[in-house]
Amino acid sequence: MLLLTCPCCGITAEETEFSPGGEAHLKRYGPGSTDDEYEAYMFQRKNPRGVHFERWRHSYGCGKWFLAARDTVTLEVFGTYPAQTTEPPADIVARIKLKRPEWEGYR
């Protein structure tokens, strides 16, 4: 079971109270970008076996979006943090490195 803590309302609940929103920290490439950039932005997603950063919405709860760092294999959650964050926060990165020394880092 995947347990997430919503940083917007402080509730810890199991995943059926939330909706997944795909990969976090995407940079938008819109008008003026190259075809390759646009294609990557639209279609190419990471699908790691291990540490991953995702968007989630507390859809049955407070309704807010937030971001989560978790392991896609063990379902261990390293932390959740506000949606208004452009890259993984330093404290969460440090926690992941402690628990997954082999992790190659973000990007």
| 61-90: contacts with other proteins (CB under 8 A) | 61-64
Q: Does the protein bind other proteins through residue 60 (CB under 8 A)?
A: yes
Contact mark string toward other proteins, 9..28, x via CB under 8 A: xxx-xx-xx-----------
DSSP code of 17?
A: G
The residues facing 80 across adjacent strands are: 68
- Residue 60 binds: one of Zn ion, other proteins, none (C-beta under 5 to 8 A by kind): other proteins
- Whether the CB-CB separation of 60 and 17 falls below 8 Å is answered with yes
- Contact between 30 and other proteins by CB under 8 A: the answer reads no
Q: How many residues bind other proteins (CB under 8 A)?
A: 13
Sign of CA dihedral 26, 20, 89, 70: negative
Shortest Cβ distance from residue 80 to Zn ion (Å)?
A: 10
**CB of 46 closer than 8 Å to CB of 39:** no
